[in-house]
Chain A
């Protein structure tokens, strides 16, 4: 399962790309490639455990 905050977009903010890239809907920014592996739960990474942005978002949502 990938992060529910993840989208793939070609445009956002001041950026425009030829290929859709990982975009975090919580921070409203395109995601660094290393962080995109967390968003996608690749390898042994998991967004709920390894991403402080998701952690903060989930914490706010539960309040």
Chain B
């Protein structure tokens, strides 16, 4: 099914994940953290071929922020600078459930928001629980506010959870899920697991491909070839190549766009991405 999308030359949506909520400038000084830095990075990524921007808010010292006010300042800056599809993160290991809803409450609401589909471990003692109750309440608020969920599928159990939501009519097609590959509780990054994952997705699901760290480039290539979409950026990978840190998010987006064009898939514009995603 998905390889046909490649053969048909369907456009590939590139999502730029600019900042994240785990590391910051201590890992790579080019990670944007302030609203002005993030808006400038988003603008550069749009010029390089991104059509969706995935946003996390930070405090002035780079630490995590979840409040509506922080997201409002950030999303306004990015909207003013770009025409990108806006996707807010609702992720937040260790943050209370009520704060996880705050990124959905900006004016206007984001076009999309992430929906972490189940538990994953962090460090030695933390687990981002993402209980069914939280996933359900986030999905319900997204539906109420017209926000498309980007299901974050960190392992195969989360695909099972996605199938459950589809069966319960919680989501509206086309469904959109990001297959995530890496260490720890994530799906182990192998081509076999990638193929098994895309074949296990619910019908009518478009998939986005995310490999952490050194897996970003090869999994982007697999996503493009197998008719999926790709996510790149300093949130997930601070290196351009082994031993060489990336200079910017746009550098990683540009590489993904070049890869798509080399593999003869056109890169989606923001308007094309809206059409593909049913926004």
Q: A34-B93, A37-B94, A44-B96 are in contact. Are A15 and B26 (CB under 8 A)?
A: yes
Contact with A along B27-70 (1 / 0, CB 8 A): 10100000000000000000000000000001011111000000
Q: Does A49 contact B (CB under 8 A)?
A: yes
- Contacting B123 at CB < 8 Å: which of A8, A35, A40? A35
How far, in angstroms, from A44 to B99 measured CA to CA in the complex?
Answer: 12
Write the nearest CB–CB distance from A51 to chain B, whole angstroms.
Answer: 7
Interface size on B, residues (CB 8 A): 24
Q: Does the CB pair B26–A21 fall under 8 Å? A: yes
- Contacting B26 at CB < 8 Å: which of A19, A30, A38, A52? A30
**Interface range on chain A: under 10, 10 to 19, 20 to 34, or 35 or more?**
20 to 34
How far, in angstroms, from A7 to B230 measured CA to CA in the complex?
Answer: 38
Q: Does the CB pair A43–B94 fall under 8 Å? A: yes
How far, in angstroms, from A31 to B22 measured CA to CA in the complex?
Answer: 10
Q: Does B182 contact A (CB under 8 A)?
A: no
A15 CB contacts on chain B under 8 angstroms: 25-26, 29
How far, in angstroms, from A21 to B27 measured CA to CA in the complex?
Answer: 13
Q: Does the CB pair B62–A33 fall under 8 Å? A: yes
Q: Does the CB pair B26–A32 fall under 8 Å? A: yes
Q: Does the CB pair B64–A33 fall under 8 Å? A: yes
Q: Does B242 contact A (CB under 8 A)?
A: no
Q: A34-B21, A34-B122 are in contact. Are A22 and B63 (CB under 8 A)?
A: yes
Residues of A within 8 A of B (CB): 8, 15, 17, 19-22, 29-38, 40, 42-45, 49-52
Nearest 8 CB-CB pairings of A with B: A30-B26, A52-B124, A50-B125, A34-B22, A33-B63, A45-B94, A19-B61, A36-B63
